[in-house]
Amino acid sequence: MEMEKILQQATGKVDSAELFRIKSKTIPVNFEVNRLKSIDIAESEGQALRIINQGRIGFASLSGSSLESEEDTETMVEQALATSEFGATAAFDFPEKNEVGPTTNSNLPEKVKIFDPKIVEKSIEEMVKIGEEILVKIKDFDRRLRSDVTIVKDISEIEYSNSRGGSFSYAKTAIAYSLMIQQVEDQDILMIESSQAAAQDKLEVEELVSEAIENFKWGEKVASLESGKMPVIFTPKAVLTLILPLIIGLNGKMVWEKVSPLAEQQNKKLWSEQLSLYSEGLIDFALGSAPFDDEGVEMRRYPLVEEGEIKNFYYDLQTAGLAGVESTGNGLREGISSPPGPGITNLVMKVGTIPFPEMVKDIKEGIIIDQVLGLGQGNIISGAFSNNVQLGFKVENGKIVGRVKDVMIAGNALEELKNIVALGDRSEWVGGRFKFPHLYLKSLSVSTKV
Amino acid sequence: MREILEKALKNNRHKADYLEIRAEKKEVTDIHFRGPKLEKISCSRQRGGNVRALVKGGWGFISFNQFTDLEEKVQEAIRVASLIGQEESKLVPNLPAVEIVQQELDKDFRQISLSEKKNLMEGYNELIMRFNPLIQSSRVTYNDRFSTVYFANSEGSYLEQEKPFLSANFTAIAREGDNVQLASESVASTKGFALIEQISGKAQKAASRAVNLLKAESVKGGEYTVILDQTLGGVFIHEAFGHLSEADFLYEDERMRELMKLGKKFGSPQLNVVDDGSIPGLLGSARYDDEGVRTRKNYLIKEGILSGRLHSRETAAKMGEEPTGNARALNYRFKPIVRMTNTYIEKGNLSFGELLSGIKEGIYARDCYGGMTSFEQFTFSAGEGFMIREGKIAEPVKDVVLSGNLFTTLLNIEGIGNDLQMIESGGGCGKGGQGPLPVSFGSPHLRIRKVVVGGGR
């Protein structure tokens, strides 16, 4: 059914209404244990209606079959009305015509590039070929290894329209390669993961494979380690361990309800001067980019943390309204059945000046952490983290000497980030949305099995 | 529905070695309180389906939520399956079944008004918020969903199964200056609304635990003898061991198969581990799995010896073992993969007091924040912890994170309590992007020596 018609159905009865639609197609090609295992195709369509009725918010969604059926959309309108009876008091209204738009499909220059027709055209057969190429490269390196590979592409179309005249639409593409190599010997398992993702068809098989092989070589030998405090280098992949508590603590919702220990801490020197983090929704071909967030507010670039001081928290419309500030364009939906809430678009950490090999040279005895288990587990709001090191390397006298086993790291990220020795001079995309350099901490508590 | 599915299968049956179609309809209600405010109340309706085709050993899978051109979808699934297939298809034989499975509810939540649901949860939320001035905020969430899953395959099975699910989660957040602590309690059920009408105790417990954590010291990292309560014991056996019993990890990996060879000693003769999807009414239960195989009781460890594992029809055929009814799919967007159902350690013969006795310095770890594994390595966080000193429970500690190697830890279980309890909570299990899938797990109290505990100091 036409968006306008549903909005009309709703607006007859309420103050204002908003309809969000997404249509997507995802195709993963999976290789398991060195061979093609499965090809999936996932098509889905859904829509969500949010209304403001006598000052209160109502929300209902519909995914599936009868987008065309009047009865289904009528039920959605009825359900949204029913929920608005108890809904939260709205602290905002939907953006007006002059605030949203034009759509990216117009002739005006694009604000941000997030669509690559090459991804749309890429056939399943081509995706299979990429996976095979990766497998051959690993086999050439060592025939005994088990490799699992996934090549996945995703195309989505988003449409938004509200009763105050605001509307936009855009299409978005994504592609990702991921590789896991594994060696089992007796009761020892060495598992190495490597992945790349972007909105543009520009991923490099060579880069993916060489990263995994380098880690494999470092990890083949097991090195012994004693518990204690020691210097630690986090690879870009592992930096999230320290940054996750900040992502949660800087969420406008957590700040507004004063659960975040970072509430009321703006513009105070909290962490190392080297630490700067930017929320950037307008980076071409990054996975978190879009011209607008999921409720029609323009995405932008602004600092969350600069030189160790909190500069901004991130907000959606409702939370911003409650807190008496402006939305930062971070109103994101976790799925069609969830209303928008503050979410991270792309998060970029400013690079430092020290190349990774220099950091390693600087360490007499310490570890490098590449993959952790239990990310986000435990009381992360407080900053506390405690993780099993899934892949980590021992450094002795400036050299990587092998892999560490049965090792845990623990600390409080809000404290540890005061003691950054150095940040890497290059940053890497992690999961297509985070861009981090290597991060070198002076001292971290490491416990190990004796 | 039966006619539509069978018609789409009929014309394409000869083009694939095996075909199945699942369809699902679902209605969902969510209510979230955050602090004193109702943050979200929403209803959603979902419909969708999928086709899975097996051609020469290769699987093609397509999921969709528009039911137009179902036959075309079947052909597309067959096309991609043909790209993969290079060998003989292997599926363990399964007798075709035709059955409609309905669920009796103890108060059908679909008949309860939105305002009654909201009022009930509001009451629990107020209990938490008013419990103590140190309570800074709360998360109280209610979720109910009622799905009906339709299944038809090319061998003549046709099944309709109703799957109700209801959960209430209480999280209390206490804050004193920079010190922020949280504690959660959760209930979930397939049985109906009655279960959640009288759970004030759970709400109060979450609040009191969060407040108590403010006073707790961080545990000192190191190696300890640890007693796990039934929840943590259940999480441990599910996360650390159960996932390794899932045959899809093993069947094509010779080395992993060697590691998990049946007949190997995994623990003391007192250790028995079971997965059973046929227990009526538990979260992981169903009459048939998502490949139409009857669920049953499966011993994974019997008297300390590895004695079984969990299978789909394909893994069972490839390993030459019996099917176990463990192929499960989160919803219509996903294909069935090997999953646990209700997993537990059978009760032993020691009382809690006997488990405690003789521990000079140890840790009593209760409840769980979450856990993760990577093959042999596991880590999970206790929701609540106490030191054990001279065989007695002593001061509370926080940030208790247990980690280790599965194989050595199982062998290090030195005491099994006589107090098995099945845990049904709203969390669920995640694997291969499919989560949270409803499961239950359980254990008696367990005493384990030499567990690495990572602490905040």
| Chain B residues with CB-CB distance to A82 below 8 A | 43, 114
Query: What are the start-end ranges of the H helices in A296-375?
Result: 317-323, 356-362
Residue B97 neighbours by CB distance under 10 Å: 17
Instruction: Tell me which amino acid residue B424 is.
Output: E
pLDDT at A104 over 50: no
Structural domains of chain A, with CATH: 3-213 (3.30.2290.10), 221-450 (no CATH)
Residue B416 neighbours by CB distance under 10 Å: 25
| Chain B residues with CB-CB distance to A374 below 8 A | 370-372, 379-381, 401, 403
Residues B352 and B444: their CA atoms lie apart, in Å, by: 9
Residue of B nearest to A87 (CA): B41
CB contact under 8 A, A377 and B370: yes
Shortest Cα–Cα distance, A61 to chain B (Å):
5
The residues, any chain, with a CB within 8 Å of residue A426's CB and separated by 6 or more, are A351, A355, A356, A437
| Chain A residues with CB-CB distance to B372 below 8 A | 373-375, 377, 388
Which pLDDT value is given to residue A269?
94
| Chain A residues with CB-CB distance to B210 below 8 A | none
pLDDT at A105 over 50: no
Residues B51 and B53: their CA atoms lie apart, in Å, by: 7
pLDDT at A66 over 60: no
The residue-averaged pLDDT of A358-364 equals 97
CB contact under 8 A, B401 and A410: yes
C-alpha triplet A293, A297, A302: angle, nearest 5° = 85
| Burial of A301: CB neighbours in 10 Å, binned 0-12, 13-18, 19+ | middle
Give the alpha-carbon dihedral of B389, B393, B395, B399, to 10 degrees. 100
Residue B113 neighbours by CB distance under 10 Å: 9
* Phi, psi (degrees; rounded to nearest 5) at B63: -115, 155
Shortest Cα–Cα distance, A109 to chain B (Å):
34
CATH 3.30.1330.90 for the B2-215 domain, yes or no: no
The residue-averaged pLDDT of B339-353 equals 97
CB contact under 8 A, A86 and B114: yes
CB contact under 8 A, A41 and B80: yes
Q: What is the DSSP letter of B283?
A: T
- Taking every pair of Cα atoms in chain A, the longest distance, rounded to a whole number of angstroms, is 74
Pairing of strands A188-198, B401-405: unpaired
The per-residue pLDDT of chain B, averaged, comes to 93
Q: What is the DSSP letter of B246?
A: B
Residue of A nearest to B369 (CA): A378
pLDDT, tens digit, for every residue of A188-208? 889 999 999 999 999 999 999
| Chain A residues with CB-CB distance to B42 below 8 A | 59-61, 83, 337-339
Q: Which of B28, B66, B335 to probe the A interface (max A CBs under 10 A)? A: B66
Which pLDDT value is given to residue A312?
97
Give the alpha-carbon dihedral of B128, B133, B134, B139, to 10 degrees. 30
Q: Which of A147-151, A428-432, A446-450, B59-63 has the lowest mean pLDDT?
A: A446-450
C-alpha closest to that of B157 among B15, B20, B296: B20
Helix, strand or coil, per DSSP, at residue A203: coil
Shortest Cα–Cα distance, A70 to chain B (Å):
14
Which pLDDT value is given to residue A1?
59
pLDDT, tens digit, for every residue of B91-102? 999 999 999 999
Residues B380 and B233: their CA atoms lie apart, in Å, by: 11
C-alpha closest to that of B202 among B122, B124, B121, B119: B124
Pairing of strands A347-349, B413-416: unpaired
Pairing of strands B18-34, A399-403: unpaired
Helix, strand or coil, per DSSP, at residue A89: strand
pLDDT, tens digit, for every residue of B116-147? 999 999 999 999 999 999 999 999 999 999 99
| Chain B residues with CB-CB distance to A40 below 8 A | 61-63, 335
| Chain B residues with CB-CB distance to A37 below 8 A | 59, 84
Asked if B42 and B186 count as a contact pair (C-beta separation under 8 A), the reply is no
The residues, any chain, with a CB within 8 Å of residue A305's CB and separated by 6 or more, are A246, A250, A271, A275, A276, A277, A311
| Chain A residues with CB-CB distance to B35 below 8 A | 257, 259
Residue B436 neighbours by CB distance under 10 Å: 13
Q: Which residue has the tokens 């043909």?
A: B82
Which pLDDT value is given to residue B450?
94
Pairing of strands B342-345, B273-276: antiparallel
The residues, any chain, with a CB within 8 Å of residue A135's CB and separated by 6 or more, are A31, A34, A35, A147, A149
Residues B283 and B188: their CA atoms lie apart, in Å, by: 8
More confident residue, A2 or B224: B224
Q: Which of A143, A447, A448, A450 to probe the B interface (max B CBs under 10 A)? A: A447
Residues B23 and A219: their CA atoms lie apart, in Å, by: 46
C-alpha closest to that of B118 among B136, B141, B135, B139: B141
Q: Which helix (H) or strand (E) holds B204?
A: helix B200-215
Q: Identify which of B80, B136, B398 has the shortest CB distance to residue A39.
A: B80
CB contact under 8 A, A83 and B41: yes
| Chain B residues with CB-CB distance to A72 below 8 A | 45
Q: How crowded is the C-beta side of A269, counted as CA atoms within 13 Å?
A: 5
| Burial of B214: CB neighbours in 10 Å, binned 0-12, 13-18, 19+ | middle
Asked if B311 and B247 count as a contact pair (C-beta separation under 8 A), the reply is yes
Residues A50 and A57: their CA atoms lie apart, in Å, by: 7
CB contact under 8 A, A88 and B37: yes
Asked if B59 and A75 count as a contact pair (C-beta separation under 8 A), the reply is no
Q: What is the pTM of this model?
A: 0.86
Shortest Cα–Cα distance, A31 to chain B (Å):
10
Residues A192 and A195: their CA atoms lie apart, in Å, by: 10
Q: Which of A187-191, B106-110, B226-230 has the lowest mean pLDDT?
A: A187-191
Q: Identify which of A32, A338, A410 has the shortest CB distance to residue B454.
A: A410
Residues B240 and B249: their CA atoms lie apart, in Å, by: 14
CB contact under 8 A, A390 and B374: yes
Give the DSSP letter string of A107-147: SSPPSS----HHHHH--HHHHHHHHHHHHHHHHHH-TT-EE
Residues B189 and B173: their CA atoms lie apart, in Å, by: 25
- Token code pair at residue B225: 């003898």
CB contact under 8 A, A445 and B256: no
Residues B150 and A268: their CA atoms lie apart, in Å, by: 58
Query: What residues does B119 pair with on adjacent strands?
Result: none
Q: Please report, rounded to a whole number, the percentage of residues in chain A having pLDDT higher than 90.
A: 79
Residues A34 and A135: their CA atoms lie apart, in Å, by: 6
**CB–CB contacts below 8 A, A to B:** 258
Domain ranges of chain B: 2-215, 218-454
Helix, strand or coil, per DSSP, at residue A329: coil
Q: How crowded is the C-beta side of B240, counted as CA atoms within 13 Å?
A: 23
Q: Identify which of B30, B180, B401 has the shortest CB distance to residue A261.
A: B180
Residue A155 neighbours by CB distance under 10 Å: 18
Q: Which of B89, B122, B232, B403 to probe the A interface (max A CBs under 10 A)? A: B403
pLDDT, tens digit, for every residue of B161-206? 999 999 999 999 999 988 899 899 999 999 999 999 999 999 999 9
Query: What residues does B23 pair with on adjacent strands?
Result: B49, B150
| Chain B residues with CB-CB distance to A185 below 8 A | 255
Classify residue B320 as left (phi > 0), alpha (psi -120 to 50) or beta: left
Q: Identify which of B25, B63, B83 has the shortest CB distance to residue A39.
A: B83
Shortest Cα–Cα distance, A413 to chain B (Å):
11
Q: Which of A257, A403, A416 to probe the B interface (max B CBs under 10 A)? A: A257
Asked if A311 and A266 count as a contact pair (C-beta separation under 8 A), the reply is yes
Q: What ipTM does the predicted assembly reach?
A: 0.79
Q: Which of A29, A37, A41, A254 to probe the B interface (max B CBs under 10 A)? A: A41
CB contact under 8 A, A379 and B399: yes
C-alpha closest to that of B219 among B358, B363, B432: B363
CB contact under 8 A, B45 and A42: no
Which pLDDT value is given to residue A3?
78
Shortest Cα–Cα distance, A366 to chain B (Å):
18
Residue of B nearest to A445 (CA): B457
CB contact under 8 A, B252 and A36: no
Which pLDDT value is given to residue B377?
83
Cis before B436? omega within 30: yes
- When pLDDT is cut at 50, 70 and 90, the band that residue A168 belongs to is very high
C-alpha closest to that of B329 among B297, B294, B292: B292
C-alpha closest to that of B124 among B134, B108, B138: B138
pLDDT at B39 over 60: yes
Instruction: Tell me which amino acid residue A37 is.
Output: K
Residues A89 and B334: their CA atoms lie apart, in Å, by: 37
Q: Which of B33, B54, B180 to probe the A interface (max A CBs under 10 A)? A: B180
Asked if B324 and B303 count as a contact pair (C-beta separation under 8 A), the reply is no
Q: What is the DSSP letter of B265?
A: B
Residues B141 and B138: their CA atoms lie apart, in Å, by: 10
Q: Which residue has the tokens 């009906």?
A: B148
The residue-averaged pLDDT of B340-347 equals 97
